[in-house]
Amino acid sequence: MQRIIDVHVHLSERRDDALNRFAQRNGLRYTLDDLLGTMRKHKIVRGLLLSPPLQGGKPLPNDEVIRLCKKSGGMLAPVITVEPTTREVNSAVKLAEENRKAVKAFKVRLGYVKASAESHVFDRVYDYAQAEGLPVLFHTGDTAFSTGDLTRSHPLTLDALANKREELTIVLCHFGNPWFEDVAELIYKHPNVYTDISGLITGGPYREKYAEWVSRKISEAVYFAAGAEKILFGTDYPVSGHTDTLALVRRLEVDERDKEKILRLNAELVFGL
């Protein structure tokens, strides 16, 4: 089996982690050892670790993400979550500077925070990311909680930012689900815009039919964008499991070379892995 890179993983090992309910539903122990063991089982050689939300809405502190990555033996690399205040932005940039060799990207939680992608509060992060060649990941599409703001997490809100900052690498998380066609247009239109397939497979009575629908939408996006160069493999562990997300890739009606790009090659280029 080929080597795989997972660009969207969560973990905290804390009781107040709001994703614990997803881990329990998926039968996961949701520990560092469990995650690394599952990665090895599926030949996933690297993963990017993002802060999970904690109960109350705040993300796991970034220094805890870096600590977990250091314990992973090089299998996990940190993504720094940026909250929309001047203090949090300055702290995120400082942490990235202090861990320059380790940090691979930033993350903005659109839909969960009261700020849009174009908010000037993020300017320093965008400036630093451009200068260092670091991508910025944005939550797009459906939110895990009913209090999320879809007017801010809709993928088309990133169009203006991509126009203004052509040198900033932008990654739309979750393929903008359910707005797959809008994301297909964005990755086709903008050379600097990518997307991942994380968190797309969940439970329910129509699980198989839903998986078929998602695989068809992603395949059609590949046809529209004339290739899979802009699509990245991600699980959103523990929201979606490795087995289900790899099965999603196998379902895609694209050639094997495009599947290889999705599973590894694109991530190597985008994140310098």
Question: Which single residue is written with the structure tokens 């949701």?
Answer: 30
Short-list 75, 27, 236, CA closest to 143: 236
CB atoms within 10 A of CB 53: 20
- Kindly indicate the confidence band of residue 203, based on its pLDDT and cuts at 50, 70 and 90: confident
CATH homologous superfamily of 4-271 equals Metal-dependent hydrolases (3.20.20.140)
Give the pLDDT score at 172. Answer: 98
Got the DSSP string for 50-107?
EPPBBTTSPBPPHHHHHHHHHHTTTSEEEEEEE-SSHHHHHHHHHHHHHTTTT--EEE
Give the pLDDT score at 142. Answer: 95
- Say if CB 244 and CB 6 are below 8 A apart: no
Average pLDDT in the chain: 96
How far is the C-alpha of 232 from the C-alpha of 5, rounded, in Å?
A: 9
- Average of per-residue pLDDT across 219-230: 97
Any idea which of 15-19, 203-207, 232-236 has the lowest mean pLDDT? 203-207
How far is the C-alpha of 207 from the C-alpha of 158, rounded, in Å?
A: 30
Short-list 6, 48, 198, CA closest to 135: 48
Provide the residue type at 248 as one letter: L
Q: Is the pLDDT of residue 246 over 70?
A: yes
Convert the pLDDT of each residue in 65-86 to its tens digit: 999 999 999 999 999 999 999 9
Convert the pLDDT of each residue in 106-150 to its tens digit: 999 999 999 999 999 999 999 999 999 999 999 999 998 888 999
Output the CA angle 124-127-130, nearest 5 degrees.
145
Return the percentage of the chain with pLDDT > 90, whole number: 94
Convert the pLDDT of each residue in 26-54 to its tens digit: 999 999 999 999 999 999 999 999 999 99
Identify the bridge partners of residue 139 per DSSP, sorted by sequence position: 173
Structure tokens at 272: 């310098």
How far is the C-alpha of 271 from the C-alpha of 159, rounded, in Å?
A: 21
Q: Is the pLDDT of residue 200 over 60?
A: yes
3-state helix, strand, coil in the chain (%, to 5): 45, 15, 40
Higher-confidence residue of 2 and 242: namely 242
Identify the bridge partners of residue 171 per DSSP, sorted by sequence position: 137, 194
Give the pLDDT score at 146. Answer: 87
Residue 149, SS3? Answer: coil
Structure tokens at 8: 């969207």
Residues with Cβ within 8 Å of 68's Cβ and at least 6 positions away in sequence, in order, are: 11, 12, 13, 32, 49, 76
Q: Is the pLDDT of residue 1 over 60?
A: no
Give the pLDDT score at 205. Answer: 87
